Amino acid sequence: MAVCDVCNRPGMGTIVKAKDMSEAVRRGFNPFKEGLALDLMASLGMGNSYDVWRAEAISGRLSRTDWNICDGCMEKLRPYLPKPSSGQKSTRKRWWEFWKKG
């Protein structure tokens, strides 16, 4: 069964590409501060989990796979995600266009 990769809520949500999630974390997304993830280390008086999580999400093992994000977490994550491209058409030719004239 699928679960949200931030809050662990069961269910299928929005798939966020690993590179987009890494960028969101670089931009300041903090699920612990947002109240989306329980900071077990802090609750045990052992420091802050965010620093370790952040490093893993940006360039560690968490940065290598896409993320399943529930609607609630997506609402908090969305402002930190990279904006979609403006929709401008690429001028680069696709593989099949090399045989077309013009």
**Which of 82-96 are b and which e, b meaning 16 or more Cβ less than 10 Å from the residue's Cβ?**
eeeeeeeeeeeeeee
For residue 51, the model assigns a pLDDT of 87
pTM metric for this prediction? 0.74
Residue 67: enclosing H or E segment and its boundaries? strand 67-69
- Range with lowest mean pLDDT among 4-13, 41-50, 72-81, 92-101: 92-101
First vs last Cα of the chain: how many Å apart?
51
12-62 pLDDT, tens digit per residue, is 999 999 999 999 999 999 999 998 987 665 555 656 778 888 999 999 999
What pairs with residue 15 in β-bridges?
Answer: 68
